[in-house]
Amino acid sequence: MSDGHEAYEKNNEVKKGRSIRVLLLVGVINVLITCFFGTLILYQIIIGKNPNSNKTEITAEYTDGIVDQLVQYYNNNDYEGMYTIFGDYAKTKVSLQDAKNAMKNLTILGKISNWTFQNSSILGTDEIGTWIEVNYSAMFESGSGIIKLSILERNKQKEVVGYNFNISNMK
């Protein structure tokens, strides 16, 4: 019986040793995973790619006036007025005449009767600045769609660098 008892005790010690090694291994793996993801999140924050960076300071209060003016110009076929919505950056890329030619093609959508702020998001940041997209749902004579503003923020200043109208539901 003493040999059986000794074998039983050794077997229990081996099981305890394995359990302790498994617990230590699980603990080490947990620490490594926590360090990896903690470092990854810290790295993203440091380089400006915060996982929560889709939160932006662009709000309806900022863009409503711009869209109101854009719609007024659009509904009045005032292409020069629509061009004035652009900031300096866009005006260096597109001439007034080229913009007017492109804007004339929009008239097939018909006038805009109402528009509502939907959302905004940061598309990315590069050496020029931070690129932001702002979306408004809109009702055109030809159907419902989206007014999309492209905004560039640089040197703590925001400017419109583009806009487009998309119809998603034709009448």
Tell me the per-residue pLDDT of 125-138, one tens digit each, with 9 for 90 and over: 899 888 989 999 99
Q: Which tens digits make up the pLDDT trace of 75-102?
A: 999 999 999 999 999 899 889 998 888 8
Contact in structure between 134 and 63 (CB atoms under 8 Å): yes
CATH (residue range 60-170): 3.10.450.590
Confidence tier at 38 by pLDDT (50, 70, 90): very low
Query: What does pTM read for this prediction?
Result: 0.64
Distance CA 84, CA 69 (A): 10
